[in-house]
Every structure is written in C-alpha cells, then in structure tokens.
C-alpha cells in the first residue's frame, strides 16, 4: 500500500485545546454506517480512528469475501473481486438485471465510469453521484460542487441535487456498487497492512481561502473538507496542482478508493479518494 506510517514529522497532532467537532450544518442526523457523522467527521476520529462498516454490506456479500479470504495474491484478489461484483450486479448481462435496450445505456454507468468521471471532473455528474453517496452513507454533507454549497434552498444546491439525480436515474444499483467497492477497499487495507491506521497524504491548492477553517491560522489549521476529496500519496505530484501543499494524516477507514487497488481506474498518480469532514492539516508554500 502507498502512504507513510503514523509518526510523521510536521503534521498536526493532538494538542491541549479540545479538537473542533463537525459543525451541525455539515452533517445529517442519520447515516448508514456504524458511527454517526458527528463522530466520524470529527478531528477526534482523525486522531483516534476505528473501522467503519456500511450497514449490511459485508453480510450481504459474505460469500464473496469468504472467497477472497482464500486468495493470498492481491492482484488475483482484485480480479476475483471485480468478477464477483460484476456477477452480483449482472454488469455483463444487464438484461438479467431487468434493463432492456432502451434502459441499458444508463445501466452501463457502473462504478468504473463513475470513478473515471470523477478523475476528469469532480464537479460533474459523476462527482455529484459520489458526493451524494458519501452524504447518504456517512451523513457528511457536500460543501462544494462547482461552487460553494451553503443554502439548501439556493440554486447551487438545487443544481447539485439535479446532477446527482441525473447520474443515478436508471442505473443498475449504482450506489450499492459503491458500497461494495468501499467495503473491499477497507478489506484490502486489513489484509495488506493490518497495523496501519493512517496514511500521510497531500493535496495541492492555489488559494488558502478554498478551505473552510474551523480553528488555527498560518501553517497549522483545522479545516472542513468537502465530503469527498482527492489526495495523492506523492508530495511532488501535489505540488503540480497549486502554490500550496496541504498535508494530512488520513485514517485508512476514510479512504474510499485509491489507485493501488486497481491500476488504471484513477487518472492521478498516487490518487486517493478520501471521505471528508474536519481534519487537522499543515499548509506549506512551494
């Protein structure tokens, strides 16, 4: 697995001041996993993470994960996983999923197309689907989609909801495919690096004002990230995308997908899709 161990110099650690919690306006009161958003989206969770489980997903796909348990080679496990996912959702036989010639085109919008769409434009329709999935499963509200999302009755929020609905309409259990994808990602972390709790990841930005600051100033801050955000495991790569580099210790439990799982699916080198919330970060000028 790519990334760096827990003890990383220069990254914010627990201090004497209480860690900021996730604001009420950035979360839902309910979600579909084992911890509420107010906990999993907090800095306390960043510092002291635990495993996150989506309701019923591992149980529903117990036979697939039992099959994966018997395979020790990660690339072969990846092939077994994609074959098992395709079989469960009839991705190669859409007519068996109830999709006809008219609806089959929408049914081909599977998990691969959603991830590739994110790589091209995180504020496009595929990005809205992914942010909506995080909102539904983890209870973290999106904060940006092409423009800031602050008013549930405003045009920006309506545009996001319309794009999310358009991206899901007529698809083949697309959000359930994403559920299984996240569960497999976490399974692979436990198989390959069971002792690892965090990854040291980087993000290039051009303006410090891009982030909602909850506490701190200057180099060390606590910020509210969008509910899904791209990072890279390469500091050099992050430097290609902005004048500042944000560094964060990201709990492995909040990694939805990363490029090492299935090379070629994500476009960015070392790219990790990270579930957002409140994070302690450091900001360095290039």
* Alpha carbons 221 and 36: distance in angstroms, whole number: 24
**pLDDT score recorded for residue 107:** 59
Residue 19 lies in a domain: no
Q: Both 41 and 73 in a single domain? A: no
Q: Both 93 and 156 in a single domain? A: yes
Query: Which residues on neighbouring strands pair with residue 216, listed in sequence order?
Result: 221
Q: What share of the chain is helix, strand, coil (3-state, %, to 5)?
A: 40, 20, 40
Cβ atoms of 203 and 231 within 8 Å: the answer is yes
Residue 30 lies in a domain: yes
Residue 7 lies in a domain: no
| Whether this model's pTM surpasses 0.95 | no
User: What single DSSP character describes residue 50?
Assistant: -
Q: What is the mean pLDDT of residues 268-274?
A: 88
The whole domain housing 261 covers 24-52+197-285
**pLDDT score recorded for residue 158:** 98
80 or 13: which leads in pLDDT: 80
Q: Both 233 and 254 in a single domain? A: yes
Q: Both 178 and 105 in a single domain? A: yes
Residue 15 lies in a domain: no
Which residue reads 């329709």 in tokens?
Answer: 125
Q: What is the crossing angle of helices 125-138 and 174-192, to 10°?
A: 70
Q: What is the mean pLDDT of residues 92-109?
A: 63
Q: Both 171 and 89 in a single domain? A: yes
- At residue 5 the predicted structure's pLDDT band, cuts being 50, 70 and 90, is very low
**Residue 173: which region, alpha, beta or left (left: phi > 0; alpha: psi -120 to 50)?**
left
Mean of pLDDT over the chain: 89
* Alpha carbons 239 and 279: distance in angstroms, whole number: 20
User: Residue 1, class by beta-carbon neighbours within 10 Å (0-12 exposed, 13-18 middle, 19+ buried)?
Assistant: middle
Cβ atoms of 222 and 258 within 8 Å: the answer is no
Q: Which of 178, 252, 285, 177 is nearest to 3 (CA)?
A: 252
93 or 104: which leads in pLDDT: 93
153 HSE (CA, 13 A, CB side): 0
Structure-token pair, residue 7: 């003890």
**pLDDT score recorded for residue 15:** 47
Total structural domains within the chain: 2
Residue 65 lies in a domain: yes
**pLDDT score recorded for residue 269:** 76
Q: What is the mean pLDDT of residues 65-94?
A: 93
Cβ partners under 8 Å of residue 73, min gap 6: none
Q: What is the mean pLDDT of residues 1-26?
A: 59
- Of 168, 192, 216, the position where a domain reaches its end is 192
Q: Which of 55, 22, 20, 13 is nearest to 41 (CA)?
A: 22
Residue 8 lies in a domain: no
Cβ partners under 8 Å of residue 153, min gap 6: none
- Of 167, 192, 217, the position where a domain reaches its end is 192
Q: Both 65 and 138 in a single domain? A: yes
Backbone φ and ψ for 110, nearest 5 degrees, come out as: -95, -170
Cβ atoms of 206 and 244 within 8 Å: the answer is yes
- At residue 93 the predicted structure's pLDDT band, cuts being 50, 70 and 90, is confident
Residue 13 lies in a domain: no
Q: What is the mean pLDDT of residues 74-97?
A: 88
Q: Both 171 and 237 in a single domain? A: no
Q: Both 43 and 79 in a single domain? A: no
Q: Both 229 and 250 in a single domain? A: yes
- Of 164, 192, 220, the position where a domain reaches its end is 192
Helices assigned H by DSSP within 48-89? 57-60, 62-69, 74-88
Hey, how many other C-beta atoms are within 10 angstroms of the C-beta on 208?
A: 16
For residue 64, pLDDT over 70 is answered with yes
Specify the pairing of strand 271-285 against strand 255-258. antiparallel
Which residue reads 């794009």 in tokens?
Answer: 163
- At residue 263 the predicted structure's pLDDT band, cuts being 50, 70 and 90, is confident
Percent of all residues in the chain with a pLDDT value above 70, rounded to a whole number:
88
Give residue-wise pLDDT tens across range 171-221.
889 999 999 999 999 999 999 999 999 999 999 999 887 789 999 888 999
CA 202 to chain centre: 15
Q: Both 177 and 243 in a single domain? A: no
CA 218 to chain centre: 27
Q: What is the mean pLDDT of residues 218-235?
A: 95
């Amino acid at each position: 697995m790519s990334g760096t161990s827990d003890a990383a110099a220069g990254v914010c650690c627990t201090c004497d001041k209480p860690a900021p919690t996730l604001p009420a306006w950035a979360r839902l009161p309910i979600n579909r996993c084992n911890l509420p958003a107010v906990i999993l989206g907090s800095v306390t969770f960043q510092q002291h993470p635990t495993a996150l489980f989506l309701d019923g997903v591992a149980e529903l796909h117990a036979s697939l994960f039992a099959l994966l348990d018997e395979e020790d080679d990660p690339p072969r496990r990846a092939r077994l996983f994609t074959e098992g996912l395709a079989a469960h959702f009839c991705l190669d036989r859409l007519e068996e999923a109830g999709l006809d010639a008219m609806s089959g085109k929408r049914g081909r919008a599977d998990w691969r197309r959603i991830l590739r769409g994110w790589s091209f434009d995180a504020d496009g329709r595929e990005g809205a689907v992914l942010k909506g999935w995080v909102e539904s499963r983890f209870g973290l509200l999106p904060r940006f989609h092409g423009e800031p999302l602050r008013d549930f009755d405003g045009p920006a929020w309506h545009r996001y909801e319309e794009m999310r609905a358009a991206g899901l309409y007529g698809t083949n259990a697309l959000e359930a495919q994403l559920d299984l994808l996240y569960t497999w990602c976490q399974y692979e972390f436990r198989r390959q690096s069971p002792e690892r709790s965090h990854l040291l990841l980087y993000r290039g930005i051009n303006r410090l004002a891009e982030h909602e600051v909850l506490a701190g100033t200057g180099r060390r801050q606590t910020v509210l990230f969008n509910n899904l955000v791209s990072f890279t495991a390469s500091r050099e790569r992050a430097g290609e995308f902005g004048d500042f580099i944000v560094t964060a210790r990201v709990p492995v439990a909040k990694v939805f997908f990363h490029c090492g799982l299935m090379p070629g699916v994500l476009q960015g080198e070392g790219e990790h899709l990270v579930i957002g919330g409140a994070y302690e970060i450091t900001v360095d000028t290039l």
